[in-house]
Chain A
Amino acid sequence: MRKPAKLVLAASAVAMLLGATLAPMSAYAASAEEGKKIAEDRKKGNCVSCHAYEGADMPGNAAPPLVAMKARYPDKAKLRAQIYDPTKANPNTIMPPFGKHGILSDKEIDAIAEWVHTL
């Protein structure tokens, strides 16, 4: 189990790397933390079964690692869309359509997108 303190540390490291300030991040810190919980729940996101990311516990390797997400997805809505329905970008993808198939609620996807944006 990772401690929230570490998460903030990792997040701030990314923020520093990107030359951003911490202020906007802490504004949604609670939600990102919630998102991490949902993402790591086996019965919910279970993202770790395919994606590695900083601090992931026994990640799978079916998918690209989630790194530098903020730099690669400046637009959070795009990130959210990828989680909501990855078959839009790639009809053959093995990533489950979390929103489209009702695996997660809209709120849960919002929270996960917040979290992924901190990676």
Chain B
Amino acid sequence: MRKLIIAAAALALTAPLVSQATPQSDLEHMKKYFAKKFPGVQYQDYANGVYALDKGRRVEWEAMEEFPPYEPGVEIGKSLFKKYKVGQCFKNGGIGIKQNYPYYDSKSGQVHTLEGELMACLKRNGIDTEKEKLDYGKGKFAAIAAYMAYTSRGKTIKVDVPAGKATKIYNEGKQFFYAKRGQLNFSCADCHVYNPGVMLRSMMLSTAIGQTTHWPAYRKKWEAGGTSPLHGFGTLQRRYGGCNKMVRAKDLKPKDGKQNPSYVALEYFHTYLSNGLKINAPGVRQ
């Protein structure tokens, strides 16, 4: 009986705590968790993904950075940015603003990503995105986004999640991140919270904190498919698709010119976890 009462009291105590989990407390909790798991890692270094966890890989990566493979693509992104007059759609002419995305727009009641606004901007400027082959995710589109992120290097990520609807969308993203999915039955957290540093065959898993600082990224795997300097680029949501396919879950494609709302919510939550880290896009990755 006594035990039961204690259990009931404990429940009463923890229940309100759980329901009071805020974005701030989520992040604090995760920071503490990783600090314990990886005592040797400097906090800012999480922005470097697996290279923060593994010396050998870091050496290879630093060698690649001596002749950054993304530079010709960023230059093309810059000229497209000018050609399509992207600057006029954004604050500060579109320069150095990536750290504030995604953000909650109270007018529309929706979360906006930089890529979502970029696509809307191109359409508003009368660009025939289909004819110009400007698709979310890769190629010319990703190059423009990569240029915009590049101009934001060194700025500190500052994603704001106000109370109300914004928090609701954040929580949807959080739920997505922790839910098991796909035939192989993995959650994002299984790989990027519970198993960072672990090897899946020859791939080392990175930490959830720091995964969003360097997008669009330039991946060797994507580069291998073509000869254009743009081929290696992909957006964060393209990467989500890759991880989802890995576990044989469905990739959530854009529809009617808009990014999938579940991925937008995921990006909102996921980017919040990198608050306080510096933008270092485009990152070079395998």
Check: A111 CB closer than 8 A to any chain B CB: no
- Note all chain A residues with C-beta closer than 8 A to B194: 94
Check: B185 CB closer than 8 A to any chain A CB: yes
Is the pair A58, B201 in contact by a Cβ cutoff of 8 Å? yes
Is the pair A101, B183 in contact by a Cβ cutoff of 8 Å? yes
A56 to B280, CA, bound (A): 37
B202: nearest chain-A partner, CB-CB: A58
Is the pair B199, A60 in contact by a Cβ cutoff of 8 Å? yes
Is the pair B184, A49 in contact by a Cβ cutoff of 8 Å? no
The minimal Cβ–Cβ distance linking A4 to chain B, given in whole angstroms, is 23
Having A94-B191, A96-B184, A96-B186, one finds 7 other A-B pairs with CB under 8 Å, namely A48-B201, A50-B200, A58-B202, A59-B199, A61-B198, A62-B198, A97-B185
Is the pair A96, B201 in contact by a Cβ cutoff of 8 Å? no
Query: Given that A58-B202, A94-B190 are contacting pairs, would A103 and B195 also be in contact in the complex, using a CB cutoff of 8 Å?
Result: no
- Note all chain B residues with C-beta closer than 8 A to A48: 201
The minimal Cβ–Cβ distance linking B38 to chain A, given in whole angstroms, is 16
17 residue pairs of the A-B complex, CB under 8 angstroms, read: A49-B200, A50-B200, A58-B202, A59-B201, A60-B198, A60-B199, A60-B203, A62-B195, A62-B198, A62-B200, A87-B185, A94-B186, A94-B191, A94-B194, A97-B185, A101-B183, A103-B184
Check: A64 CB closer than 8 A to any chain B CB: no
- Note all chain B residues with C-beta closer than 8 A to A97: 185
- Note all chain A residues with C-beta closer than 8 A to B190: 94
With an 8 Å Cβ cutoff, the count of chain A residues facing the other chain is: 16
The minimal Cβ–Cβ distance linking A105 to chain B, given in whole angstroms, is 14
Consensus secondary structure, chain A interface:
loop
A27 to B199, CA, bound (A): 36
Q: B183: which of A62, A87, A96 is its contact (CB, 8 Å)? A: A96
Check: A102 CB closer than 8 A to any chain B CB: yes
A46: nearest chain-B partner, CB-CB: B201
B186: nearest chain-A partner, CB-CB: A94
Complex interface residues of chain B between 161 and 203 (CB less than 8 A to chain A): 183-186, 190-191, 194-195, 198-203
- Note all chain A residues with C-beta closer than 8 A to B195: 62, 94
- Note all chain A residues with C-beta closer than 8 A to B202: 58, 60
- Note all chain B residues with C-beta closer than 8 A to A103: 183-184
A115 to B191, CA, bound (A): 27
B194: nearest chain-A partner, CB-CB: A94
The minimal Cβ–Cβ distance linking B270 to chain A, given in whole angstroms, is 19
- Note all chain B residues with C-beta closer than 8 A to A101: 183-185
A114 to B184, CA, bound (A): 22
The minimal Cβ–Cβ distance linking B79 to chain A, given in whole angstroms, is 41
Contact flags B183-225 to A (C-beta < 8 A → 1, else 0): 1111000110011001111110000000000000000000000
A55 to B190, CA, bound (A): 27
A103 to B195, CA, bound (A): 22
A16 to B183, CA, bound (A): 39
The minimal Cβ–Cβ distance linking B245 to chain A, given in whole angstroms, is 13
A25 to B199, CA, bound (A): 32
The minimal Cβ–Cβ distance linking B199 to chain A, given in whole angstroms, is 4
Complex interface residues of chain A between 74 and 111 (CB less than 8 A to chain B): 87, 94, 96-97, 101-103
Is the pair B185, A96 in contact by a Cβ cutoff of 8 Å? yes
The minimal Cβ–Cβ distance linking A55 to chain B, given in whole angstroms, is 15
Is the pair B200, A60 in contact by a Cβ cutoff of 8 Å? yes
- Note all chain B residues with C-beta closer than 8 A to A62: 195, 198-200
The minimal Cβ–Cβ distance linking A25 to chain B, given in whole angstroms, is 29
